[in-house]
Amino acid sequence: MRLVTMSSMPILQQLHLEEQLLRCTPNNWCVINDGTDPATIVMGVSGRVSELVEIQPVLRDQVPVVRRFSGGGTVIVDQGTVFVTFICNKNAVAGLQPYPRDIMSWSGQLYGKVFDRFGEFHLRENDYAFSHRKFGGNAQSITKNRWVHHTSFLWDYDVKNMDYLKIPKRAPEYRLARNHTDFLCRMKEYIPSRSVFTDGVIAALGEHFSVQPMGLQAILSSDDEFVPSTKLLSQQDLQDIVSSKESLRI
């Protein structure tokens, strides 16, 4: 498995890179990005902005909103977020069927080796949690021959940023209608440092793969013609959504 580590790459650029690696290379990859700037809302490919985002505050504060190429829920990410992505061929893991639940289960077992010594780690529905509080959200995309599983880990988070997100109508059962701050926890309260976490991920991967560090620059220059499907929503896109909802009230 080829390993790419970076720090503070904008999440839009990271998602473009991951989609390129998924669609344009035959290799298995792990991408680790320690933090991102600026703070950005990231939505799944089929998420409805009006149901998931507080649009007026987002417009007022000019918070970027990105619609990624994979499924999953809506998050706001920033320098307190650590991202880990696995991009694999269907036959990369012996015995693993390329279906969402199977990939989630495999990832939960792998991360169990990282987290079990720090707290009561659980894979709860599609989330990673310490006890009943979420600290990792996941999204996937599965193609004919490959799959991607990416996670945003909450090393820390700004409570104020959570006000940009609505509580989704389709929330996991274990959330129990809790608000964002009661539902979430910070990894920094359980793990000594960010490097302890990322080193643990790399060590756990080493039990399944031969891990080969790769330079980022060589990858970024490998395919200038690739056109990603992950998009930054414009201010006009968001304003149009507000206008359409207001017209329905008239």
pLDDT tens for the chain, 250 residues: list them: 999 999 999 999 999 999 999 999 999 999 999 999 999 999 999 999 999 999 999 999 999 999 999 999 999 999 999 999 999 999 999 999 999 999 999 999 999 999 999 999 999 999 999 999 999 999 999 999 999 999 999 999 999 999 999 988 888 899 998 998 999 999 999 999 999 999 999 999 999 999 999 988 877 766 668 899 999 999 999 999 988 865 443 3
- Give residue 247's pLDDT: 43
Give the strand order in the sheet containing 29-34: 121-124, 127-130, 133-142, 146-154, 81-89, 29-34, 2-7, 212-213
- Measured at the CA of 178, the angle between CA 176 and CA 184, to 5 degrees, comes to 110
Number of other residues whose CB lies within 10 A of the CB of residue 75: 21
Q: Residue 112: exposed, middle, or buried by beta-carbon count in 10 A (0-12, 13-18, 19+)?
A: middle
pTM given for the model: 0.94
Among residues 163, 149, 52, the alpha carbon closest in space to that of 109 is found at 149
| Contacts of residue 185, Cβ cutoff 8 Å, sequence gap at least 6 | 129, 130, 133, 134, 135, 154
Domains in the chain, please, with CATH?
A: 2-242 (3.30.930.10)
Retrieve residue 220's tokens.
């970024």
DSSP labels for 92-108? SSTT--SSHHHHHHHHH
Helix, strand counts (H, E) of the chain? 8, 12
Give the strand order in the sheet containing 40-43: 75-77, 40-43, 65-67, 231-233
Q: Which amino acid is at 144?
A: K
- How is the chain split among helix, strand and coil, in percent rounded to 5? 35, 25, 40
| Contacts of residue 5, Cβ cutoff 8 Å, sequence gap at least 6 | 32, 33, 34, 198, 213
